[in-house]
Amino acid sequence: MDQHGPRKARQYISSIKVQVPSLCSAVIDRALQLFGGAGVSEDYIIAKALANLRTLRIADGPDAVHRRSVALLELKALYRKTFGTDPPRSRL
């Protein structure tokens, strides 16, 4: 992103916005399973991490939007590679 700007990195940013929260959710869920009932108490940081993760996922936007963005960028790149020109504009 530093070399080419945010427009060129948009696909990677959208991918990261889907994958990182999913991975963090899996890690926190596993920690909750390991700690059992103690995992949701204030004695451990796991409950706070889960609350922060949920807040982050809400603030970041729906995963479906980011997945759609990645899919459209991939299709656009494939169209360029195949036909050598930008795809026609659509209202999708």
Q: Alpha carbon 12 to chain centroid distance? A: 10
Predicted structure pTM score: 0.73
- pLDDT, tens digit, 9 for 90 and up, residues 15-34: 998 999 999 999 999 999 99
- pLDDT, tens digit, 9 for 90 and up, residues 29-58: 999 999 998 988 888 999 999 999 999 888
Place of tokens 């609350």: 51
**Which one-letter amino acid corresponds to residue 6?**
P
Q: Are 53 and 25 in contact (CB under 8 A)?
A: yes
In 10 A of CB 11, how many CB atoms? 17
- pLDDT, tens digit, 9 for 90 and up, residues 51-85: 999 998 888 888 889 999 999 999 999 999 999 99
Q: How far apart are CA 47 and CA 53, in angstroms?
A: 10
Q: How far apart are CA 71 and CA 90, in angstroms?
A: 15
